[in-house]
Structure 1
Amino acid sequence: MALQELVDKTVQGLGYELVEIERSAGGLLRITIDHPWAPGVERFITVEDCEKVTRQLQFGLEVEGVEYRRLEVSSPGIDRPLRRVSDFERFAGALVDLTLKAPLGSAAGGQVHASRKKFRGTLERVAPSEPGGAVQWQLLWTEEPPAAKPGKKPGKKAQPLPVNVLGFTLDELRDARLAPVVNFKGRGGAADTD
């Protein structure tokens, strides 16, 4: 049985979703798992989840004779990779980092450097233009404002930056991940007032 098939079957059998399999030098086999997506329900992978999957995978890998030195099962983290269509649907509206396979070239109409491949913005789904057509995706992003001189406050008349739109299909992407945004104010998003 192929490694991908074995790991996927084991992880799904335990009620989880396989996000990624990674083999690296030194015999490390890294498996990333998550809970299956249900709209409106946000669950996080715990240490106990990783332990349960690790125990079952160790048994399965031994039976199949898969060579590895160290097995690591983990959660996807704050920069979760987006691989499948279901990942993009799940995280529509989220801030993501995209890397294209090829630079935009002259298609950007001079608004973006022709060799640019990396973008950060809000992911949106675009309805197909024709019935039964392929689902398209777009990224809404703005350029970073020029840095102010140290000690100088930004002006009150600062103009809002224009929003750019980058349309793409999943086969044009080299990599897509959630943008790691850390909020030290808690899950509610509002600052605690004392």
Structure 2
Amino acid sequence: MSNQVVELTQKLVEPILADMNLELVEVEYKKEGKNWFLRVFIDKPGGVDIEECGQVSEQLSEKLDETDPIEAAYFLEVSSPGAERPLKTQADFKKFVGEHVYMKLYEPIDGEKEFEGTLQSFENEIASVEIRIKARKKQLEVPFDKIAKANLAVTFN
């Protein structure tokens, strides 16, 4: 049921976002405590503002009311993914080359399963990440299908 809600929500929201030149980052449908939440994360270069989130929420809410795909009561939230935006697709990885990232892998590469570093490149489904171990730098070549989770990481200098 949860996957069907996510897929339908993606189909309903994508034309709305296309009209507004916004990008769909992620849709989640999950239960927290007694309540269900349908969360839609949107973005654009330079970030989205509260008005854009409100417009998308209003239009998506109308579409969801028309199709009525969700039996349980739920809260709809439309927001920006924030500074630590998830990287889900290969296009995301290409777009954020040069940025600081956090990655968690399904299995270790060179003894590393979880790390932060600079995304140097993304070509042929391989993310090249420069990580720092104490005072030395190390280059990791990470196949896209080995990445369990990745997101932009905030650095404090």
Match of 1:70 among 71, 75, 79: 75
State the partner residue of 2:113.
Answer: 117
> 1:28 maps to which residue?
37
Change in Cα spacing, 1:55 to 1:126, as seen in structure 2 (3 Å) is closer
1:121 and 1:139 in contact (8 A); partners too = yes
Q: Choose the corresponding residue for 1:140, options 123, 130, 142.
A: 130
* TM-score (ref. length: structure 2): 0.84
Q: Secondary structure at the match of 2:38?
A: strand
Tell me whether 1:47 sits opposite 2:21 in the alignment.
no
List structure 1 runs of 4+ shifted beyond 6 angstroms. none
Residue type at the aligned position of 2:41: T
Change (3 A) 1:88 1:56: same
Structure 2: gaps spanning 5 or more residues = 1-6
For residue 180 of structure 1, report the CA deviation from its aligned partner: 2.2
Tell me the SS of whatever aligns to 1:102. Answer: strand
State the identity as a percent: 32
Which of 163, 173, 176 does residue 150 from structure 2 map onto? 176
Task: State the partner residue of 2:141.
Answer: 167
Task: Mark the structure with the bigger radius of gyration.
Answer: 1
**RMSD, aligned α-carbons:** 1.9
Residue 135 of structure 1 and its aligned partner are, at CA, apart by 4.3
Structure 1 spans left out of the alignment, 5+ residues: 36-41, 128-133, 146-160, 184-194
1:85-164 maps to which residues of 2 (within 5 A)?
85-104=90-109, 108=110, 112=111, 116-125=112-121, 134-143=124-133, 145=134, 161-164=135-138
The amino acid of 1:22's aligned partner reads E
1:17 to 12, 17, 23: 23
Q: Does the 8 A contact of 2:132 with 2:138 survive in 1?
A: yes
Aligned to 2:63: 60
C-alpha distance in 1, partners of 2:143/2:49?
33
Is the contact between residue 9 and residue 27 of structure 2 (CA under 8 Å) also seen in structure 1? no
**2:4 matched residue in structure 1:** none
Deviation at 1:123, TM superposition (A): 0.2
Query: For the Cα contact (< 8 Å) 2:90–2:125, is it kept in 1?
Result: no
Distance in 1 of aligned mates of 2:156 and 2:16: 32
Q: TM-score, normalised by structure 1?
A: 0.69
- The answer on whether the counterparts of 2:102 and 2:116 sit within 8 Å (CA) in structure 1 is yes
